Structure 1
Amino acid sequence: MTAIAEAPVTTVVTPVAKKLPVSLTVVTVLLGALFLLAPRHGTAVFRLDDGTTWVKIPAQSVPADVVLVVSFIVMALLAVWAWIAAVRRVPAGAWTPIVFAVLAVFAFVTWAAAGANGQVPVVSMLYGAISLAVPLAFGALGGVIGERAGVVNVAIEGQLLLGAFLGAVFGTLGHSPLIGLFGAIIGGVLVAFVLAAFAIKYLVEQVIVGVVLNVLVSGLTTFLFTILLVPNASTLNNTPQFGKIKIPLLSEIPVIGPVLFNQNLIVYLLYIAVPVVAFGLYRTRWGLRLRAVGEYPRAADTVGIKVNPTRFWNVLLAGALAGIGGAYFTLVSVPQFNRDMTNGAGFIALAAVIFGRWDPVRATLAALLFGFATNLQNTFSAIGTPVPGEFLLMLPYVVTLIAVVGFVGQIRGPAASGKPYIKS
């Protein structure tokens, strides 16, 4: 009998994913060095009541030394668990970086507030974080939709900025923040239209188009601000603001009530937009078509989906959402437009898209994290901490860098994102 040779068995070795454990280890070491080399003793006082709810919660004092030691030990254990999971090639669990981040933030705030003159205003700190995160979240939602459709939306900054500009002008001329909101949506759609036209119709490199649009909108709004808004501030740049809408009962919940349910219309629109986009993206025909043209455009074309028109209209939808985020700057934050007032928020929103793995809910949570990091500057300045102001100014960008580089891991965006589709 002739022996039949067996085919060689190929063993596929999965590489050890070291990014998460390395990141947790580095952050743990840095915070440990900070607590050891610049110790802060005494107590940190957290004020949990802003005086607007029925239930009154007294301020809570925590011993800084105990909190820092316990937090450092738990963070070290989480880093060790991440290493064990990586070596065993099993998931460390989504809870690991979340718990680690919460502990790290709590320990850092406790260290900064220990022995300070003032109390940490928890409610106002969280409220300010949401206020700063709303434009980022709307920009991130626009980025998710655009990239899921196959178009890299680097022009979020321009959409936010033109939305803020037209929101101020329309709101002032119409004497209504609702009209201003409509104008802001138009601003976001206009930038998205140019992006879609060049990227989809004329096949221009999408990243280059986005960068050029950001520069163009910045220069255009600065020019119009100088020649139109400055000399006519009372008639063109003095828009009414959205007021707070207090939801009965829910706004009386301690801590989270004043933060989440005593907000303005744009924040409530965000509460609606996030679940609607998430549901539509994964559970509707629209979402299936959107993901199809961003992942497998040729296969989508073979089943009758018009790839480029689908991409075009969804990029406009993404621009409308980013425009709503731009409206927040002039219809909620301040009643006037100022040159380059978005201050790079569009790029942080783009980082939130990547950090959130092109998922609307995760991208929104990432935007909240970046908003919280930005608001720490205001909180620390109010309570008189020794943290240098220069460090606080770069804190949101440091957090963005650590989050995207260290915690995201090796991920892959939509397969056809940034690739123009040419029908054969």
Structure 2
Amino acid sequence: MSTVTAPQPAPTAQAPVGPAVQARIAWRGPVLYLVVALISLVFFSLLTPGEDTTRFMVSTRDDFVEIAPFAVPSRATALVLSVVALALALWATRLTTQRRKVPTWVPILFGGLVLLAFLVWVMAGNTNALPLTILLTGALTLSVPLIFGSLAGLLCERSGIINIAIEGQLLGGAFLAVVVASLTDNPYAGLVAAPVAGALVGAVLVLFAVRYRIDQIIVGVVLNVLVVGVTNYLFSTVLTQNPQSLNSPPRLPTLPIPVLSQIPVIGPVLFDHSLIVYLMYVAVAVLQVMVFRSRWGLRMRAVGEHPKAADTVGIKVNLTRVRNSILGGAVAGLGGAALVSAGLAFTKELTSGKGYIALAAMILGRWSPKGALAASLLFGFADSLRQVLNNLGSPVPSQFLAMLPYLATIFAVAGLVGRVRAPAAEGIPYVK
């Protein structure tokens, strides 16, 4: 009995498999780590006199446990910190050569080690103790306007509107906060009025951007110049003539949180501030959830990435952009109120470029609330360090110390941002 075999399919020719194409190694990070680590090793440790000591103060009188100021040997401490930083740089270089991702904690720890080595070097031989608590508290306080400004830019740009007018929104918010608080003798009234000024600037920005489809960068720059001119004119003519009634705002009272504010170091830095700082905590947390975990945030990001697709599913693109731009302006106005929350009088060009630094913080934070928070804290720390070192006296020239916040901005954006992608429809008017 014969068996019938089924016909076998003809063998198919297989394409030759070549070597896999590997991604190009990015050497910028490892090179930056190595250069900074070597600078720290040479200048902050080897060139420090061996007999000098550096004194630190980490406690305040109101803490549960009062820690006495202590001194450390300058050269030995800076040497240990620099060697550990160099070891981290070498490890990051090895991971990069193996095409493995460098963990997020590596640059954070590396930056902290180099920063401590710098502080040990700059305060070596100084009879004054470096008040770390005051330094960190000042960093948080000075970063609050930047955080609000970067959140304002995030709200606008995530919906497709480029907000260069953060500088004007901060300045307008500070001006109205001072005037209203001075007239009512109530700092909280100024805190309520400040977002109104920022929202007005945001409304003008989105009006020209959406309705008349004018280049958003040009509109933002013009608005900054306009707000500077208007506030300077009103300061010179109105506020100067009657400073007691119009330019003498009361200070926002400090609201220490019971128990938490008395924890050494952490308490004074995080839990002993005015209402504006606690509002910043809430704003960052709420926006982090809303932008990435809510339907509102999904729609906003859809408008900023692909407005045509968003319009197809029923999302009103231009209305979303108008609402977000006005909301972003109001948030920036709160940042302006933070500038004068300590009872400071209004002066010409009070913001001094903080709006542009906030814009850089938003980019460095990759259009994320928590990223903007971290970047703003970096710039605020640079500004606080400048003030503390100027008060204590240091071998670093005062002109260089004045450059610290802006140098930090340039190096951070140029060296740490890497390849970032803005929202795809950013700055592009939408026409049905």
Asked if the contact 2:147/2:358 (under 8 Å) is kept, the reply is yes
Secondary structure at the aligned position of 2:425 is classed as: coil
CA distance in 2, matches of 1:204, 1:16: 41
Unaligned runs of 5+ in 1: none
CA distance in 1, matches of 2:143, 2:121: 24
Residue 373 of structure 1 corresponds to 382
Equivalent of residue 175 in structure 2, options 165, 184, 188 = 165
Residue 403 of structure 1 corresponds to 412
CA distance in 2, matches of 1:256, 1:367: 19
Ranked by relative contact order (alpha carbons within 8 Å, sequence separation 6 or more), the top structure is: 1
Deviates more, 1:301-310 or 1:70-79: 70-79
Secondary structure at the aligned position of 2:54 is classed as: strand
> What do the CA deviations read for 1:51-89 (whole angstroms, capped 9, x no partner)?
111211122222111121112212222222222222222
Residue 350 of structure 2 corresponds to 341
Residue 324 of structure 2 corresponds to 314
Q: 1:114 to 1:204 in 2, by over 3 A?
A: same
Secondary structure at the aligned position of 2:72 is classed as: strand
CA distance in 2, matches of 1:77, 1:354: 30
> What do the CA deviations read for 1:290-332 (whole angstroms, capped 9, x no partner)?
11111111111111101111011011111111100000122x2
Larger Rg over CA atoms:
2
Question: 1:118 deviation in Å?
Answer: 0.2
Asked if the contact 1:117/1:384 (under 8 Å) is kept, the reply is no
> What do the CA deviations read for 1:145-199 (whole angstroms, capped 9, x no partner)?
1111111111111100010001111111222112111221011101111111111
Secondary structure at the aligned position of 1:44 is classed as: strand
Question: 1:256 deviation in Å?
Answer: 1.0
Equivalent of residue 295 in structure 1, options 302, 305, 317 = 305
Asked if the contact 2:260/2:267 (under 8 Å) is kept, the reply is yes
The alignment yields a C-alpha RMSD, in angstroms, of: 1.7
CA distance in 2, matches of 1:334, 1:218: 21
Residue 200 of structure 1 corresponds to 210
The amino acid that maps onto 2:39 is: L
Instruction: Determine if the alignment matches structure 1 residue 178 to structure 2 residue 188.
Output: yes
Residue 361 of structure 2 corresponds to 352
Secondary structure at the aligned position of 1:333 is classed as: coil
Residue 242 of structure 1 corresponds to 252
Question: 1:38 deviation in Å?
Answer: 4.5
Q: Normalized against structure 1, the TM-score is what?
A: 0.96
CA distance in 1, matches of 2:166, 2:266: 30
Instruction: Determine if the alignment matches structure 1 residue 149 to structure 2 residue 159.
Output: yes
Asked if the contact 1:40/1:111 (under 8 Å) is kept, the reply is no
Question: 1:111 deviation in Å?
Answer: 0.6
Q: 1:40 to 1:221 in 2, by over 3 A?
A: farther
Instruction: Determine if the alignment matches structure 1 residue 99 to structure 2 residue 139.
Output: no
Number of residue pairs matched?
A: 422
Instruction: Determine if the alignment matches structure 1 residue 269 to structure 2 residue 279.
Output: yes
Question: 1:45 deviation in Å?
Answer: 1.0
Residue 421 of structure 1 corresponds to 430
Q: 1:175 to 1:109 in 2, by over 3 A?
A: same
Equivalent of residue 117 in structure 1, options 127, 130, 133 = 127
CA distance in 2, matches of 1:117, 1:372: 23
CA distance in 2, matches of 1:54, 1:28: 37
CA distance in 2, matches of 1:30, 1:2: 64
> What do the CA deviations read for 1:9-51 (whole angstroms, capped 9, x no partner)?
6844312122211221232233334236742442111101121
Deviates more, 1:375-384 or 1:309-318: 375-384
CA distance in 1, matches of 2:310, 2:375: 31
> What do the CA deviations read for 1:360-389 (whole angstroms, capped 9, x no partner)?
011111111111111111211232221110
CA distance in 2, matches of 1:282, 1:6: 43
> What do the CA deviations read for 1:119-164 (whole angstroms, capped 9, x no partner)?
0011111111111111011111111111111111111111000100
Residue 58 of structure 1 corresponds to 68
Secondary structure at the aligned position of 1:273 is classed as: helix
CA distance in 2, matches of 1:422, 1:348: 32
Equivalent of residue 214 in structure 1, options 211, 224, 242 = 224
Asked if the contact 2:170/2:336 (under 8 Å) is kept, the reply is yes
Asked if the contact 1:40/1:112 (under 8 Å) is kept, the reply is no
Residue 232 of structure 1 corresponds to 242
Instruction: Determine if the alignment matches structure 1 residue 282 to structure 2 residue 292.
Output: yes
Residue 382 of structure 1 corresponds to 391
Asked if the contact 1:167/1:184 (under 8 Å) is kept, the reply is yes
Question: 1:346 deviation in Å?
Answer: 0.7
The amino acid that maps onto 1:178 is: Y
CA distance in 2, matches of 1:158, 1:204: 18
